[in-house]
Chains A and B, each alone.
Chain A
Amino acid sequence: MTLPIPSEKLAQTLKEQATLHARQGTFTSELLRNPGKFGLGQVPVALKPDATTTSVCGYCSTGCRLKIHLKDREAINLTPSVDYPVNLGMACPKGWEALAVLDSDERGTTPLLNGKTTDWNSALDSFCENFKGIQDKHGKDSVAFISTGQITVEDFFLLGSFAKFGMGIRHGDGNTRQCMATSVVAYKQSFGFDAPPYTYADFEESDTLVFIGANPAIAHPIMWQRVMRNRRDPHIVVIDPRCTETAQVATQHVPLTPKSDLALLYGLAHIIVRDGRVNEDYLDKTEGFEDFARFLDDYPPEKVAPICGQSIAELEALAHRVSEPGKRVSWWWTMGVNQSYEGVRTAQAIINLCLMTGNIGKPGTGANSITGQCNAMGSRLFSNTTNLLGGHDFGNPDHRAKVAGLLGIREDRIQEAPGYAYDQIIEAIDKGEIKGLWIIATNPNHSWIDQKNFARIREKLDFLVVQDIYVTTETSQMADLYLPAAGWGEKDGILINSERRLGIIRQVKKAPGQALTDYRIIQALADRWGGCEFIKKWPTPAEALTTIKALSKGQPCDISGIRDHNHLEQVGGIQWPAPETESPSLLEHPTERRLFEDGKFYTANQKAKFVFDHPSPLAEPTCEDYPLILLTGRGTSSQWHTQTRTGKSKILRKLYPQECYLEINPEDAAQLKIEDRQQVTISSRRGEIKAQAYYAPTVQKGQVFLPMHYKEINRLTHASFDPHSRQPNYKYCAVNVAK
């Protein structure tokens, strides 16, 4: 008998309420899994794709590829790609949650002028009128831009071309200055070109891996996966003041005194020379060793050991470990080296060790800088800031002529020297020299060293434009004009990862509201600015790639052998160099590429250079009022930089503390009568912040650690810079901690 119930749904509900023991029903069916096809195995029924595509992850420089699950052409889910040589089917939580952070009500959906919604036409007018007005009044150089390591190669190319050759801006830099500048300069001076020499397979091929100032277990988890796949029973050394996650799983931890790294590395080199462990054969491929060996006389272990907080025996053992004949030794560094007032020389001290032991250009070796952002490597070559497009020199007339020819612009539009670095732009704003600033995809009001200073100089700007995917970032909030950008997943283009691999990202979602890709925003701006006809040659990233390839031709970073975006997708990315002269079989089936296998470097005489300098005094030593050393760094694998994206995923938010916390050695804490989890005040000469104290035996006595992701911490940091790279020194300043 059927009851006269009007609605089927109601009937179903009633049935479910009335069932004595319900093994099935509405809730159960929500979680059913079914074969998803596309090589995915089972997937949740509600998330079954009807197609897939791939896209390289847009967070860090590891460059994992993600398989994007599509339904009606839009992304509904993702899994890490299995057939990609970088990540082999794995991703860190940020990658898994890459799509989730795009659906946020904090996304910008229209341009905002003085905080009020406006349309694109008015926004473009405002951009042009204000910046032109400033330039007319104060000269072309009174407007500057600060970009990022997060946009695509094509975006960089168009931005750099428009800003410098269209708007006539001289001073532009990127947040990569906060991250990779040190490695850039170190490589350039030592190898003749900014060329990280390794391929990820080297993680698996090493006998001894030395991580210095790097915490890949949480900062680059998928690179660490490659280390874990090493089947050579490797000896893993971690040189870091803190007993980081990586140090805890390493074979050996060297808890050196902060900023004694340069002395330590010279000390190791001294012992290697003293004990006759130099690879004499390899020295033919280098120059300057004699001078270096003499310089090392000043760094006997007796002198170096106390500086580093190590014993002489420990130093000697380590020196022998990294110079063992027949063993493959690789050195890996990241922000612990780069973010220093003497980072360039420190990176070069690592390079020197590799050169003198012949640990370069062979599997499992190398002086290897692990990059930070997903396209920092693209920015280094194509952002047109420090380098002229394509890794060229502004100072070289031939380079200027080549670039002008390929772009179809007058040669005299290209400046003859690089513009200001990030910190110099800030300083020029302070001095009233720069009055207009355009910020693209970065958040200096959170991340810039001595942050209060940034907020202060903002008041001196006549016009600030911020282009970002979120309207709520600390920097978007202070803009005169905010331009809503489309993000990763909403655009096409190329990213270059840490091992020089070009991979592609794809548009798999519609951008919210009127948000546009950075590429399209720049096209629109150039159109409205006027006099930028040359920009019209590149209506889409595909056309831009043609010119980018031409620009790279003949450079160490030659990528003229790449056909197009689809080529990159089909072959699983291609590492530079990939010149068109390369054999077709290699371009169709690229293997891992390592630089300098032929022992030839990019310098004029093809020899690598030993570059060295005595360590400089500390930028801000501790004192009676500020007795503790403040270290900063990555908090967890689920946090990224200033958290503008990672803060939008509820899953990622579960995986890190919501409030700022201070790691302090329990003995120091006891002396200061600070209890575990107690609220404390941390002060430096620049300001003070509050945080929860967290007993961390992993931090040495006399030091404290703050994770960089919390907005307040750069109120404390001390603005000092490496003189060669202008990279800020985030890792050492003097603070006081009190209840």
Chain B
Amino acid sequence: MSAAAPERTLIDELLADQKTLSTPVADFSEQHDREPDLAGHYRNLIPLSKPGPGEQYAFEVALDKCTSCKACVAACHSQNGLDEDESWRDVGLLLGGEDEPSWQQTITTACHHCADPECLNGCPVKAYEKSEENGIVRHLDDQCIGCSYCIFKCPFDVPKYSKKRGIVRKCDMCHDRLAEGEAPACVQACPTEAIKIVTVNVVEKSKLGKRDLGWLNGAPPAHITQPTTRYTGREVPITAQAADYQNLRPEHAHAPLVIMLVLTQVAVGLFLGSLRSGLPPLGLTLLTLGLFTIGLVSATLHLGQPLKAWRFFLGLRTSWLSRELLAFTILGGFLTVPLIHHLPFIPSSQLAPLVNFLSGKLFASFSALIALCAIFTSVKIYETTHRQLWKAAITFPRFFGTTAISTLLILSLFDPVWTPFFTLGILIKLGLDFLQLQGEKLKRERILITQILLPISLIRLVSALLAIGVVFLHPWVAFPFFLISEFAERTLYFKAVRPLKMPSFL
């Protein structure tokens, strides 16, 4: 260093040295294929043989061994090359609740590779597969259209959306490691051997799951999907509750879904209303089509992979989202039918019977049925997530209510006798919004809606009352206020819901 040329100072030398990586690396012999260093450690933490008929792989967590070190989370992230904030394993805390206030337990959790996975059932494009050989529920990343419906459907909050890719990703139980007799990353990394892979009998498990026994008090119920993970080693108090159970953080608003739901339901309402007039004015038909299109475009654009959305029909057998997409596609056609009255040319006389049929009562009734079915599919999408605020008793009146009030608005346009019914409709829906929040089960939602999300609730209330106030001037004057109040109602529907999830911390 002292021999440096005069123009090159010590600091130049040091900076140059700092940029040189001269660390001796381990012996070349290290490079050869050999048994993994940890093989001896995890040999008894994975099953000796592959699952037989009726069996599958499952995680087993010994609660008495887990001490909250969380190495499993970091190891999953690093050993699977996940994004910088991504890990397929998570940890949370269960508290004993009323029975045993001082009891607490860390819960490590990944995908439960359920016997009846709702992510799979709900997926509109069959982007989930449950292996027949080993029961591992895999997500097909290239098949995914990024609709995120599996996130709503999974009772354990397992699939996570990757914004930069526009798809969801989730735990695959390190299936290729298991195939080679290696343990999953989390199993390898647990210093206290608290996580194991075991073979479980799915048939028996599903019976157990139905009764929620052998599962985990304080976690979402097992009966929905029959999770296969076993929590052993320590008795969990019956009153156990997740540490974050009472958290008052609102969920995402899902603006595209709010827009989609409200506008399609309003459009259906306008359409139904216009059916009664026989010959709806061109403006109304265009407005209906316009709102409907904005709703659908909004929903499509929210997909992470909109160009792959054409695959939606694959899931028709099990997915309400597939069915909704199909119903709305068909409905779109029906909504354009009234345009035949406003063709820029006069149809040839040969087409007259068709025109007559399309303007007839029978066809109108059929269109109405299709439209109501479409709304029904929307309801089912949410109702089947088992979230308290999205249960049928709340979702049905809300979704169909929006449509019904829109219909009443159009009816009052044609005949003012309907105006009080429009007013009544708004009042009933408003009343239901708040009355339905009673009861202990919806306490958190109630607090959110009446306190933390109060500004949105006020917008909802005030704009609904304004709609009533001005409807007597002219129904169209009330329309924007009605729309705003519905947008606010639906925003609350998404933001105040308590998602089903495994325990987390604060």
Task: Name A's B-contacting residues (CB within 8 A).
Answer: 16-17, 19-28, 30-33, 35, 37-47, 51-54, 70, 73-74, 77-83, 88-93, 96-97, 100, 120-121, 124, 217-218, 221-222, 224-225, 228, 243, 245-246, 248-249, 486, 490, 492, 506-511, 514-517, 520, 523-524, 527, 536, 539, 566, 636-638, 649-657, 661, 666, 676-677, 692, 694, 697-698
Q: Given A53-B26, A508-B23, A698-B104, decide whether A79 and B14 contact each other with a Cβ distance below 8 A.
A: no
CA distance A222 to B70 in the complex (A): 12
Complex interface: chain A residues within 8 A of B246 (CB): 676-677
CB pair A218–B308 under 8 Å, yes or no, is no
B128-149, CB under 8 A of A: which get 1 and which 0? 0000000000001111100000
Complex interface: chain A residues within 8 A of B96 (CB): 697
Q: Given A83-B37, A523-B10, decide whether A492 and B23 contact each other with a Cβ distance below 8 A.
A: yes
Looking at the complex, which of B75-83, B286-294, B319-327, B342-350 is the stretch in contact with chain A?
A: B75-83
| Chain B nearest Cβ from A473, distance in angstroms | 21
| Pairs across A and B, CB under 8 Å, 21 listed | A17-B308, A22-B140, A24-B142, A27-B141, A28-B140, A31-B81, A40-B37, A41-B39, A44-B80, A46-B81, A51-B30, A73-B23, A79-B79, A82-B41, A83-B37, A93-B70, A124-B11, A249-B67, A649-B84, A657-B506, A661-B506
- B72 closest partner in A (C-beta): A93
CB pair B14–A516 under 8 Å, yes or no, is yes
Complex interface: chain A residues within 8 A of B251 (CB): none
| Chain B nearest Cβ from A573, distance in angstroms | 16
| Chain A nearest Cβ from B132, distance in angstroms | 15
Of A90, A121, A515, the residue contacting B189 (CB under 8 A) is A90
Complex interface: chain B residues within 8 A of A225 (CB): 191-192
CB pair B79–A44 under 8 Å, yes or no, is yes
Complex interface: chain A residues within 8 A of B74 (CB): 92-93, 96-97, 638, 651-652, 655
Q: Given A23-B143, A41-B177, A677-B246, decide whether A697 and B68 contact each other with a Cβ distance below 8 A.
A: no
B83-117, CB under 8 A of A: which get 1 and which 0? 01101001100001000011010100000000000
Complex interface: chain B residues within 8 A of A51 (CB): 25-26, 30-31
CB pair A637–B505 under 8 Å, yes or no, is no
CA distance A74 to B21 in the complex (A): 8
Interface of B, secondary structure class, is loop
Q: Give how many A-B residue pairs fall within 8 Å (CB-CB).
A: 250
Complex interface: chain B residues within 8 A of A221 (CB): 67, 69, 71, 191
| Chain B nearest Cβ from A78, distance in angstroms | 7
| Chain B nearest Cβ from A622, distance in angstroms | 23
CB pair B31–A697 under 8 Å, yes or no, is no
CA distance A19 to B80 in the complex (A): 26
Q: Given A27-B167, A510-B19, A636-B68, decide whether A39 and B78 contact each other with a Cβ distance below 8 A.
A: no
> A21-B314, A27-B144, A637-B70 given. 20 additional CB < 8 A pairs?
A22-B143, A28-B140, A33-B80, A33-B177, A37-B32, A39-B30, A41-B36, A70-B25, A92-B70, A93-B73, A221-B69, A224-B67, A228-B65, A486-B18, A508-B21, A636-B70, A652-B74, A654-B87, A655-B74, A677-B248
CB pair B192–A524 under 8 Å, yes or no, is no
Complex interface: chain A residues within 8 A of B506 (CB): 657, 661, 677, 692, 694
B34-65, CB under 8 A of A: which get 1 and which 0? 11111101000000000000000000000011
Interface size class of B (residues with CB under 8 A): 35 or more
CB pair B26–A31 under 8 Å, yes or no, is no
CA distance A677 to B448 in the complex (A): 14
Complex interface: chain A residues within 8 A of B81 (CB): 30-31, 43-47, 77
CA distance A322 to B389 in the complex (A): 56
CB pair A524–B11 under 8 Å, yes or no, is yes
Of A20, A31, A656, A694, the residue contacting B141 (CB under 8 A) is A31
CA distance A114 to B101 in the complex (A): 53
CB pair A20–B23 under 8 Å, yes or no, is no
